[in-house]
Structure 1
Amino acid sequence: MPVSVQLEVTPLPEQPFGATVTLPAGITDPSKLSDEDFNKLREALHSNLVLVIPNQADLPPASQHALTSRFDPSCQGNYGHDEKLFHHKSSILAKDGKCIPDRPEVIMVGNGDFEAGHAPGMKAFDLEHPTHHSFHKDVLSPEEVAAGQTRFYRWHIDSALYGLAPPMVTTLLGIQVPPTTEKQTIKYTDSNEEFELTKGATAFASGATAFKLLSPEDQEFALNTTVVYAPHPYIYISETKATSDGLTIVSEGKEKTFDQLPAWEEDKIKKLPLVWTNPTTKEPHLQVHGCCVWKLINNKTGEVIELEEARKLVHKFMRPAISPKHIYAHPWKKGDLAIFFNRGVWHTVTGEFDPEERRLMHQCNIASGEDPLCLN
């Protein structure tokens, strides 16, 4: 990539959204951008939804944290989840990552065993790449996996969805990435569609596109709907299984009862708009974590749509936006720093890794001080 005297943003070719960023000459740490360049970066993020800055493998966790927090002056300084709840033995997130001791807002995700010393005070650790085999109701057969099939694991926004406000952005840095051009294929179970992607790609879907694909009647409904999330939602669904597209949960009555959950407070239950407004483009984005939905409330009529029907409706609204032509699947290379607008996209893990394959990434998102708004 050519050297730039100023920050440059280049849309990804032949992709529905996303862009690469070239840092200004002399700047190697994006957290140290001038105010002028950072404002350009922030506006580019809101417009392109996913930005990729290459050659950042040596970016320190402190710089990644500083960059992430710079996008949201209201952020609380802590990781986007309560750490005890994130690692709670019953949470579906319990195995998803480990915090860096001296910068706990940055967590390590990936696959494989790693020696001590990765970070100050860091003991030897192991990571497990999430797989649909542990989360979906119906899973791929060994023959299908051997033939190169994979699944969208769980479409989501990064958020505790209890107590803490959803982070503004997430940064994800490829520290150690297996050099591979191996392709895997997602075969949609409700259509003849197929989507080919690089093994281990992170897939993104645009909430703005999701809203645009709704009928006028459904847009009106969405603009006037509040999503109510269950208390401790990742524990609430810990014994349930997801739909084959990873969008929501199959309703089988396997949710934990509220008295089986850790202590919770009514005023910490998250009630968020189904549609969030992009602060730069002013576009409406359909932003919802389909697996954690508990209820929907119609703000005009007061009608409450309960769990099973709420899941069905959210799935109907989300599904068109994950068709192949609407998705960007990032093919990771060592040193890629992906910055994504967590209030404008959903994302998911993909890929099936062998136990001996080693991949290490640093992820950072920080709880905001303010919930998102729908400026309807």
Structure 2
Amino acid sequence: MHNTDTLVVEPLKDKPFGCVISLPSYCKNDPTALNKSDFEKLYNAVHENLVVVIQDQADLHPSTQYKLTKMFDSTIPEPKEDSGFAGYGHGKEFRHEQSVLKKDGTTVKSQPQVQILGQGVFEPEEPGNENGETISLTHPSHTTFHHTPLSAEKIKKDHETRFYRWHIDSALYDLNPPVVTTLLGIKVPPSNQLQKISYEDTGDELQLTQGATCFVSGEQAFANLSDEDKEFALNTTVEYAPHPYIFISPAGATSDGLTMVSEGKEIPFDKLPEWEESKIKKFPMVWKNPVTKKPHLQVHGCCLHKLHTKQPDGTVKTYELKEAREKAHKLMRPAIAPSYVLPHAWKQGDLVIFYNRGVWHSVTGEFKGVKSDGKDERRLMHQCNIASGMEPIQYS
């Protein structure tokens, strides 16, 4: 780490995107204490590099993480009781018994916009457990979400894993996607264990560390499309299902984690929790980065419901669920080729800030989540992202 009087940005070497940030000495390792000029550098770095890593932040308090996350979006409404604005993902929608997100962490009681994620049981006195009670965390596993998961032998003996679910952090119903997500590694099990992801359609392999968080650039995803596919994407609106994480809960994901297998298993709309037509989200397929002005292909392939594409004659063609998924998958699949994926290998104290409106990301890997035989394979992280007051900017 540098010890300088100004913030330093170092692009990651031999990676498709991303950078490491060194904080200036005057802020005493508190990123919220940056002066106006240095915060502007950080803001631009997040939008330009998409994934930013600040090391040695294990002691960052949840209230400070919340404050930092808010600094990236002046439109965030003040928290309102029971509104969902207490922090995207931390209300009734995401703790609903039927939601596929119901096991993904627990809320920090003193700062409900921050979630505690990880694997294993943590006692009240352990670092990162802010709740004064024993908590049990479950790391998301593709074995519970994919239509046809890997065999136990492939996971254990061959050290294989999968992209769990490629996604944008967003409720995708009623609330707008957060601008950034901050993710802090407080307890990270030291592991030199490598895992691999095998691409069933091409035979490619991606090597990554146990439990790496993978990112792809929406900018690169769009840039790599054919001219015909770019035209399609630019003229397409993505309509998401009401309560989408509940809607898809009986279904299984494709083996690459990009979308769902269409078998008619989704919960019928009349069986979902109460919903309103006006709260259904319809977002452009291509979003504009406000700093670089570049187009980003931004789709949550698992939660979409329909695609609406403007034709050359001005009419609109609607693709229903199965075909919409197939169209989205065709556009998204090239972006997750090994050379385009940034797998972040977590180290204790890493604070990752990513531009949630410019990347897709996915959990990978499996953890035993136990503390025995001198080994501690538990993991604990703090995550914060907050619904924005503004919709994504359509690229045109």
Cα distance in 1 for residues equivalent to 2:164 and 2:130: 32
Paired position in structure 1 for 2:22? 22
8 Å contact kept, 1:101–1:122: no
The CA deviation string for residues 36-72 of structure 1, in whole angstroms up to 9 with x for no partner, is: 1111101111110000000000000011000000000
Aligned residue for 2:306, secondary structure, equals strand
The CA deviation string for residues 243-302 of structure 1, in whole angstroms up to 9 with x for no partner, is: 000000000000000111000011000000100000011110000100001000113421
Aligned residue for 2:112, secondary structure, equals strand
Per the alignment, do residues 249 and 343 of structure 1 end up closer, same or farther by CA in structure 2, a change over 3 Å counting? same
Aligned residue for 2:239, secondary structure, equals strand
The CA deviation string for residues 144-178 of structure 1, in whole angstroms up to 9 with x for no partner, is: 11211000000000000000000000000000000
Paired position in structure 2 for 1:315? 329
Cα offset for 1:121?
Answer: 4.3
User: 2:151 is matched with which residue: 141, 157, 161?
Assistant: 141
Aligned residue for 1:211, secondary structure, equals helix
Identify unmatched segments of 5+ residues in structure 1.
none
Cα distance in 2 for residues equivalent to 1:110 and 1:65: 19
The CA deviation string for residues 89-139 of structure 1, in whole angstroms up to 9 with x for no partner, is: 000000001010010000000000011255554321100011010011111
Matched, 1:9 2:9: yes
**What amino acid sits opposite 1:348 in the alignment?**
S
8 Å contact kept, 2:122–2:129: no
8 Å contact kept, 2:170–2:176: yes
Paired position in structure 2 for 1:99? 107
Cα distance in 2 for residues equivalent to 1:20 and 1:89: 38
Matches within 5 A, 1:355-366: 355-356=369-370, 357-366=377-386
Cα offset for 1:24?
Answer: 0.6
Paired position in structure 1 for 2:82? none
Cα distance in 2 for residues equivalent to 1:122 and 1:238: 32
Cα offset for 1:355?
Answer: 3.6
User: 1:332 is matched with which residue: 325, 346, 351?
Assistant: 346
Matched, 1:56 2:57: yes
8 Å contact kept, 1:82–1:160: no
Paired position in structure 1 for 2:211? 200
Matches within 5 A, 1:165-314: 165-299=176-310, 300-314=314-328
Paired position in structure 2 for 1:115? 123
**What amino acid sits opposite 2:344 in the alignment?**
H
Cα distance in 2 for residues equivalent to 1:250 and 1:156: 16
Cα distance in 2 for residues equivalent to 1:4 and 1:237: 49
The CA deviation string for residues 15-45 of structure 1, in whole angstroms up to 9 with x for no partner, is: 0000000001132110111111111101111
Matches within 5 A, 1:342-357: 342-356=356-370, 357=377
Cα distance in 2 for residues equivalent to 1:321 and 1:139: 22
How many pairs are equivalent? 376
Cα distance in 1 for residues equivalent to 2:270 and 2:248: 14
Cα distance in 2 for residues equivalent to 1:321 and 1:333: 26
The CA deviation string for residues 185-234 of structure 1, in whole angstroms up to 9 with x for no partner, is: 00001111100001000000000011011110110111111100000000
Cα distance in 2 for residues equivalent to 1:301 and 1:133: 42
Cα offset for 1:353?
Answer: 1.1
TM-score normalised to structure 2 length? 0.93
Identify unmatched segments of 5+ residues in structure 2.
79-85, 371-376
**What amino acid sits opposite 2:299 in the alignment?**
V
The CA deviation string for residues 78-98 of structure 1, in whole angstroms up to 9 with x for no partner, is: 312251111100000000010
8 Å contact kept, 1:81–1:164: no
TM-score normalised to structure 1 length? 0.98
**What amino acid sits opposite 2:12 in the alignment?**
L
**What amino acid sits opposite 1:302 in the alignment?**
V
Cα distance in 1 for residues equivalent to 2:289 and 2:31: 23
Aligned-residue Cα RMSD (Å) equals 1.0
Paired position in structure 1 for 2:38? 37
Aligned residue for 1:38, secondary structure, equals helix
8 Å contact kept, 2:123–2:129: no
Cα distance in 1 for residues equivalent to 2:55 and 2:163: 25
